[in-house]
Amino acid sequence: MKVAIYPGSFDPITSGHLNIIRRAANIFDKLIVCVMVNAGKSPMFNLEERVDLIKRVTADIPNVEVDSSNELLAEYAKRKGSCVIVKGLRAGSDFENEFQMALINHNINPNLDTMFLTAEHQYMYLSSSTVKELGRYGVVLPEFLPEAIIPDFQERIKSNLQGGK
Ligand code: ADP
């Protein structure tokens, strides 16, 4: 069984992420979407919330599993019996960084390869940080977030603004 890992911060999951998930789930027998702990970022949604949001929007895709981890990605993949990491590649911004990470992960675990799916053109410039930035100005573009989580996002923006964040 070919198991692939799709890692990220998913703070929150966007339509761009969901598009990659659907396409990767068509290619592999099982896709594990893993929310990685990133000590450097202070997230809008905590780890459990992000996992829950992803579970809700992927509930209709039977071969998708959602998990979280604070391990090194190469170690996590080995533990899960996976030899493929899936990454989305957006216009310009992702290439250098992703290339470097793919080489590092392959060095740490030579059985591990990274496969890139190009972003769909309408999501080429979409990132979670753009969605959050727009949200702070009261703009929620419905095509950027999975419909089911828009109320959660609006609620969080509202409470953050009230809390002065
Ligand atoms: P973001 O950069 O939006 O904060 P993450 O750090 O959670 O997202 O990214 C997880 C993975 O999803 C990365 O491989 C990233 O390149 C990919 N990704 C993010 N946004 C998109 C998008 N709009 N289209 C395709 N892939 C994307």
Cβ neighbour number for residue 27 with a 10 Å cutoff: 13
- Ligand 1 atom, smallest distance to 94 CA: 16
pTM here is: 0.94
Structural domain of residue 65, as residue ranges? Answer: 3-161
In this structure, the residues whose C-beta lies within 6 A of any atom of ligand 1 are 8-10, 14, 16-17, 20, 87-88, 90, 94, 119, 123, 126-129
pLDDT digits (tens, 9 = 90+) for 15-41: 999 999 999 999 999 999 999 998 777
Those residues with Cβ within 8 angstroms of residue 86's Cβ, 6 or more apart along the chain or in another chain? 4, 5, 6, 20, 24, 28, 31, 114, 115, 116, 117
User: What CATH number does the domain containing 44 carry?
Assistant: 3.40.50.620
pLDDT digits (tens, 9 = 90+) for 35-80: 999 877 789 999 999 999 999 999 999 999 999 999 999 999 999 9
Is the model's pLDDT at 159 over the cut of 80? yes
Q: How many domains, in total, are found in the chain?
A: 1
Spacing, Cα 160 to ligand 1 middle (Å): 23
pLDDT digits (tens, 9 = 90+) for 68-124: 999 999 999 999 999 999 999 998 778 889 999 999 999 999 999 999 999 999 999
What is the model's pLDDT at position 94?
83
Spacing, Cα 127 to ligand 1 middle (Å): 6
Spacing, Cα 109 to ligand 1 middle (Å): 23
Strand, coil or helix: 29: coil
Report the alpha-carbon distance of residue 72 to residue 75 in Å, rounded.
5
What is the model's pLDDT at position 42?
85
- Tell me whether strands 30-36 and 84-89 are parallel, antiparallel or unpaired: unpaired
Enzyme catalytic residues: 17, 41, 90, 128
Q: Which of 96, 95, 76 is nearest to 35 (CA)?
A: 76
